[in-house]
Chains A and B, each alone.
Chain A
Amino acid sequence: DTAVSQTPKYLVTQMGNDKSIKCEQNLGHDTMYWYKQDSKKFLKIMFSYNNKELIINETVPNRFSPKSPDKAHLNLHINSLELGDSAVYFCASSQGWTDTQYFGPGTRLTVL
Chain B
Amino acid sequence: AQSVTQLDSQVPVFEEAPVELRCNYSSSVSVYLFWYVQYPNQGLQLLLKYLSGSTLVESINGFEAEFNKSQTSFHLRKPSVHISDTAEYFCAVTSNAGGTSYGKLTFGQGTILTVHP
- A33 x B103 contact (CB < 8 A): yes
Q: Indicate whether A55 sits within 8 Å of B103 (C-beta atoms), given known contacts A98-B51, A103-B45.
A: yes
**Chain A min CB distance to B6 (Å):** 11
**What is the total of A-B residue contacts with beta carbons within 8 Å?**
60
A25 at the interface (CB under 8 A from B): no
Does A48 contact B103, Cβ atoms closer than 8 Å?
A: yes
Among the stretches A13-21, A35-43, A71-79, the one at the interface with B is: A35-43
> Is A98 in contact with B110, judged by CB distance below 8 angstroms?
no
Closest to A100 in B: B46
Q: Are A97 and B43 in contact (CB under 8 A)?
A: no
A4:B43 contact, CB within 8 angstroms: yes
User: Which parts of B41-86 form the interface with A (CB within 8 Å)?
Assistant: 42-46, 49, 51
Chain A residues with CB under 8 A of B34: 100
Q: How close is A102's CB to chain B, nearest CB, in angstroms?
A: 8
Question: Count of A residues near B, CB < 8 Å?
Answer: 25
Whether B104 sits at the interface, judged by CB under 8 Å, is yes
Interface residues of A in 5-40 (CB under 8 A from B): 31, 33, 40
Residues of A within 8 A of B94 (CB): 97-98
Residues of B within 8 A of A94 (CB): 103
Main secondary structure of the interface of A (DSSP, over half): strand
Task: Please give the distance in Å from A47's CB to the nearest CB on chain B.
Answer: 10
State the Cβ distance, B9 to closest chain A Cβ, in Å.
9
Interfacial chain B residues near A43, Cβ < 8 Å? 44, 90, 107, 110
Task: Supply 6 A–B pairs (Cβ within 8 Å), ascending by A.
Answer: A4-B43, A33-B103, A43-B90, A56-B104, A97-B103, A103-B45
Binding site for B on A (CB under 8 A): 4, 31, 33, 40-45, 48, 50, 55-56, 90, 92, 94, 97-98, 100-106
Residues of B that sit less than 8 Å from A by CB: 32, 34, 36, 42-46, 49, 51, 88, 90, 94, 96, 98, 100-107, 109-110
